[in-house]
Structure 1
Amino acid sequence: MDKTLNLTIVSPEGVLFEGKVKSLLLPGVMGLFAVMPLHAPLITQLTQGVITFYEKEHKQEIVIKSGFVEVKQNVVSVCVEQ
């Protein structure tokens, strides 16, 4: 069983990240929330904050103004405004 997520983060400027990650933290309108492998399907709005994700052992962060996220079958698609 694959214990990673396929993450794509895009903005109007282009693709900010595309690859496999172990987990990520997102700034939701109700507060920060985590997405892990096998997460339930979800579509929600994002608010100003930082997306934090872990690619292998390397932590990466992207600051956003707003956006949306869809989680479905270990695929996470994020559309943001920076």
Structure 2
Amino acid sequence: MILEVITPDAMLFKGQIKQVILPGLDGSFGVLSNHAPMISGLAEGTVKVEQIVDKNREEKEGKFNVEHSNDPVFTFDIKGGVIEVKDNKVMVLAE
């Protein structure tokens, strides 16, 4: 599954992931492969990403989130936003 995290200023992350856990408006929730399509609001909180570490990802997808490129699990904070899940692609538009 592909995750893209985009802010008004830049794309923070793009890559293959196993799962992502997000701060929903009514509590945290997770998204795994083959999740049903959905759109949801996000609250302020922490996003936890479990990515598939691929040493050749930078060549395939560009230089996004270089600081976490070798971390199988990492977190970052958002101030809110929106998530869309469709066809094994998760797009987070975050503040």
Q: Same fold (TM over 0.5)?
A: yes
Q: Distance in 1 between matches of 2:81 and 2:33?
A: 21
Q: Distance in 2 between matches of 1:54 and 1:65?
A: 20
Q: CA RMSD, aligned part only?
A: 0.9
Q: CA deviation at 1:13?
A: 1.5
Match of 1:17 among 13, 16, 37: 13
Aligned to 1:65: 79
Match of 1:50 among 46, 49, 62: 46
Structure with the greater alpha carbon radius of gyration: 2
Match of 2:3 among 4, 7, 24: 7
Higher RCO structure, 1 or 2 (CA under 8 Å, sep 6+)? 2
- The DSSP-based 3-state class of the residue aligned with 1:22 is strand
Report the structure, 1 or 2, having the larger helix content.
2
The unaligned stretches of length 5 or more in structure 1 are: none
Aligned to 1:27: 23
Percentage of matched positions with identical amino acids:
36
Stretches of 4+ aligned residues off by more than 6 angstroms: none
1:49-72 deviation digits (Å, cap 9, x = unpaired): 011111126111110001000000
Q: Distance in 1 between matches of 2:27 and 2:33?
A: 20
- State the TM-score, normalizing by the size of structure 1: 0.90
